[in-house]
Chain A
């Protein structure tokens, strides 16, 4: 899936994560801010990377501001951000859900 524009999903509420995805030349770069960075930073990055990979995204710049979201929330926000950024919201990627 190709990232065509910058798009965002999620809020800055407690237990949510806000994920912003924009174009990049190649590779997935994640800039993560999280209150639980020490304990769950690696896990959060891994959930985002895996979700993007599953959706066929190979190049993207990701900015994530985490407020203690659980893995299921992180995955949902990542999917929504990718679909918006790739202008495919009218074709939900059911297979990754």
Chain B
């Protein structure tokens, strides 16, 4: 069975898991029925407990689905503390459904898989030892990878039915009113966790900071919370995000960033009231700085900036160059602090951000997005999930979702070391070429031929050579040589969903 991006999908697995092959980036206007969680009625007087073990015992049964958020990133203490209790209590056959998995969780997840505690995983991504473990066939059932918007969709549909959500927060009152902005381990927006708080049958907050009732602003509300567990420390503030984001000095990244800026400024979308999203990579951050100057020079202001937010973006907000920041997560402390102090930085949940099955998501209103790529192929398909060795080492994040913007720019170097970024066929298709408009490299740009309007507006920019994507691919191959094709077994270790829940690609077990 092949899908519309020409990927061969394993018929038995597709049938077992009841999946449809990916067809189109168009979502259309279907009518959707959302699900609702069970409510265990209470006046809320006895929510505070001190033992994770007791809460696990009260809430969890074999075969259930548990969830966590990844807003603490590599500073997370909550995941490992809760999983320790769950493994030690001998639970079996759980589905792990976090918003994503960060490196600090890897060893615990591997232990839980080996113990039979976790038998199914759905996540935005995984890296390091866990990606390696799964790519070598360590988990029997294929991992389901979903974008942030698609996770929200799947939760609302009931495709992911969370029985118990364990959500770490830097503050909460005794009834469970909580936010991500005050306390020791602050991370700003609770965007991804808000889905779990709204849809899980049981919501367990874990905090090291129980504050006076009622706690406001309340991102997670007492109406959603079953337990508030007091723990010693929810996270390590130094590892949640870098304190100050440094501006890259790498000339290659700067060249790419200034070219991205040229593309944006000369596109039809660069006008007063435009909107944009940038990632957190070195080049993306540098783009923000070039864009700031271009906005000042042309007397243009943006109506909103979207997505994962960094300090360079909140600086634009403070300067009045951006009217609103729509914030689903914060990548550094500066951005998290700004959410606390600036009323124009609005916390949004993952559904509002990017769920396709919606009455309008923020990404549907987005003009310009700058995204990265591990690989991009001559059909403009992008891989952000598997490394050049075929091993899982990435995350979809909001890539598929934000790529639906009116102008989707992929910024990537032509080669990284000896690995070509532009290839004849990506190892894993994550974002279909149909939603990608311009590729920017340090050598020049390639414009998706289906965007003849952009070909017209971007073809004669001084200092911005335009190539076909095939020419850029050949240039890369000439530099690094032709790699030996990767070898995989027939076994499927992961399914990549498109944001509508269809299958865009699969990942096979690597052969070593």
Contact = CB atoms under 8 A, between A and B. Distances in A.
A68 B481 contact: no
B480 interface: yes
Contact of A71 (B417, B419, B481, B486): B481
Given A68-B417, A70-B418, A43 B389 contact: no
A40 B419 CA distance: 9
Nearest to B391: A38
B417 A67 contact: yes
Contact of B481 (A14, A40, A67): A40
A43 B417 contact: no
Interface string B395-438: 00000000000000000000011110000000000000000000
Contacts of B487: 38
A43 B481 CA distance: 9
A40 B417 contact: no
B146 to A, nearest CB: 28
Contacts of A43: 481, 484
Interface in A70-86: 70-71
A76 to B, nearest CB: 15
Nearest to A43: B481
Interface of B is mostly: loop
A11 interface: no
Given A15-B418, A68-B419, A36 B388 contact: yes
Contact of A38 (B389, B416, B417, B479): B389
Contact of B486 (A15, A39, A41, A70): A39
Contacts of B418: 15, 36, 39-40, 68-70
Of the four ranges (under 10, 10 to 19, 20 to 34, 35 or more), the interface on chain A belongs to 10 to 19
A38 B390 CA distance: 10
A63 B479 CA distance: 25
Nearest to B389: A38
A73 B299 CA distance: 48
B481 to A, nearest CB: 6
| Residue with the highest number of chain A CB atoms closer than 10 Å, among B389, B417, B419 | B417
A67 B419 CA distance: 11
A36 B482 CA distance: 12
A88 to B, nearest CB: 29
Interface of B: 388-390, 416-419, 479-481, 483-484, 486-487
Interface of A: 14-15, 35-36, 38-43, 67-71
13 contacts: A36-B388, A36-B483, A38-B390, A38-B484, A38-B486, A39-B486, A40-B481, A40-B483, A42-B484, A67-B417, A68-B417, A68-B418, A70-B479
